[in-house]
Amino acid sequence: MKKVLFLSALLVLTSCMSTKITTEIVEMTYADIIQIEDKEMSKGTQKVEEAIPEIKEIKKEITTDFFGNKQEKILDEVIIQHFVPKKIITGIKDVRVRQEVIKDQEIVVEQVEDKTLNKGIEKVVQEGKLGEVEITYEDIYYKGIFDRTQEVSRKVLVESEPKIINIGIKEVKTRTVVFTDQELVVVRQNDATLDKGVEKVIQAGTLKKVEITYEDIYFKGVLDSSKEVFRKVLVQAVDKIIRVGTKEITTSNYLNYSNNDLSWWYRPGTPTATIDSKIAALIAKYNVYWQIPTTQKVVYLTFDEGYEYKQNTLSILNTLKTKGVKATFFITGGYYSSHPELVKKMMAEGHQVANHTINHYRASTVLNQSTQKYIDDVVNLDKLVPGLVKLHRPPEGGYSERSLKILKDLGYKTVFWSFAYRDWETANQPDPVAAKQKILDNIHPGSILLLHAVSDTNVSILGDVIDGIRAKGYTIQQLPR
């Protein structure tokens, strides 16, 4: 029974209890203080940052019973703002200002190249000056301990000036050169006692020779200029005097000489080539070369030039230049008219250029027509081509006693040969190996070699032939005049 009454009473009391949910904002401040040192604030200064309170949102459940008693139960807490303690910031930066005068340790030296001063000479044109600068610094200390320095201003007290030294780069070299005139002044004098077409040298002439001293100016090893400082004549020029015959040749005088058509031939052999004794007796009277009487190991290289084939002559000239050989070229009037530049090149490179007639007529054939026609065919080439030497090679090797007499009277030496071979047929060229051996097997002291420039074989073997001649102990010279 009692138990029933208790439960009933408890039920009544429970039914009289009330419950509610509340939310409140609570602000809380604490007494914490933080001391902070600030390196950016000067020593002796302070800055206070007040505390920031903590703010909470608190959710509670409040229950009130029959007797008015309350019970609170925290259901949730949310921090809206965290507490930040009060900060007292104290500066610890100690700035100390100082000034310093800095003087350059040494004068800057500038070297300037001077073309007016000789190499090795130096000239001070500005002594130079040491610079002075006043610099203001801020030295930064923290709590009495040095941390760093910073420059805040700079003032130039004395402007620096470099020491300037001019360095001579001019080098003067003295040289002496002897110049010889390239050609003689030729004076031609008419002589009525000499046959027309005949020329006689009565004064050989002398080339002027001058010694010139130069000063060559170099800058840093490179030639800049030259100037003549002295001139001395070593040899005075003397004109070459030539008497030129004006006496008309009486062509009838030559009719007493045989005009039988002869062709040049020789017998190959050792130690020298030979010719028939009758021919030897005939040519002995008329200034004829076919080999040069000598015991010296010397040979003479000659080329006949009737026309140009491919560019063989240019190749021949290049080979002769490379090998350092001077030769004799017998040219026709037709060749000169077609290729004057090659003839000028021959002369410019020191070769002899000689007479092979204007029209390449065979001597006896044209003499049967007219003595004057033959004479004109020879001497007119000298008029056409200045600088020809007085050497004549008869076309085709054809001659007669009459032609030899006329050539002698005209002042020419007739040049035949002691070696020739069948090299003139451009479509039927000899084998190069056999040709080279044939040439080298037939040289002897005084040999006059005849080669045709139209021959491709001659062009291809010329360098080796020259080497072979020299290997046998021979030198190659120009024909004596």
Question: Given this model, what pLDDT does residue 138 score?
Answer: 83
Give the torsion sign (CA, 192, 197, 200, 204). positive
Number of domains into which the chain is organized: 4
Asked if the structure places residue 195 within a domain, the reply is yes
Q: Which domain holds residue 201?
A: 170-240
Annotated catalytic residue, options 339, 351, 392, 452: 452
pLDDT by residue for the chain (481 residues), tens digit each? 656 555 555 555 556 678 889 888 888 777 778 888 877 888 878 888 888 888 888 888 888 877 888 888 888 888 998 878 888 888 788 888 888 888 888 888 888 998 888 888 988 988 888 888 888 888 888 888 988 898 988 989 888 889 889 888 988 898 888 878 877 888 888 887 776 666 778 898 888 888 888 888 988 888 888 888 889 899 998 988 988 777 666 666 899 999 999 999 999 987 889 999 999 999 999 999 999 999 999 999 999 999 999 999 999 999 999 999 999 999 999 999 999 999 999 999 999 999 999 999 999 999 999 999 999 999 999 999 999 999 999 999 999 999 999 999 999 999 999 999 999 999 999 999 999 999 999 999 999 999 999 999 999 999 999 999 999 999 999 999 8
Identify whether residues 379 and 328 lie together within a single domain: yes
* Known catalytic membership, residue 452: yes
Asked if the structure places residue 1 within a domain, the reply is no
Question: Given this model, what pLDDT does residue 360 score?
Answer: 96
Identify whether residues 34 and 74 lie together within a single domain: yes
Residues paired with 356 in a beta bridge: none
Asked if the structure places residue 17 within a domain, the reply is no
Asked if the structure places residue 15 within a domain, the reply is no
Asked if the structure places residue 4 within a domain, the reply is no
For the chain, give percent helix, strand, coil, nearest 5: 25, 45, 30
Annotated catalytic residue, options 304, 377, 382, 409: 304
How far, in Å, CA of 322 to CA of 42, rounded? 94
Question: At which of 91, 106, 140 does a domain end?
Answer: 91
How far, in Å, CA of 390 to CA of 411, rounded? 7
Asked if the structure places residue 10 within a domain, the reply is no
Q: Residue 4: how many CB atoms within 10 A of its CB?
A: 8
Question: Given this model, what pLDDT does residue 283 score?
Answer: 97
Question: At which of 221, 240, 259 does a domain end?
Answer: 240
Q: Is the peptide bond before 395 cis (omega within 30 degrees of 0)?
A: no
Identify whether residues 138 and 61 lie together within a single domain: no
Identify whether residues 81 and 116 lie together within a single domain: no
Identify whether residues 363 and 471 lie together within a single domain: yes
Q: Angle, to 10 degrees, between the axis of helix 456-471 and the axis of helix 312-323?
A: 20
* Known catalytic membership, residue 76: no
Question: At which of 151, 169, 187 does a domain end?
Answer: 169
Question: Given this model, what pLDDT does residue 57 score?
Answer: 85
Question: Given this model, what pLDDT does residue 160 score?
Answer: 86
Question: Given this model, what pLDDT does residue 2 score?
Answer: 58
Residues paired with 238 in a beta bridge: 206
Asked if the structure places residue 314 within a domain, the reply is yes
Question: Given this model, what pLDDT does residue 181 score?
Answer: 83
Identify whether residues 261 and 128 lie together within a single domain: no
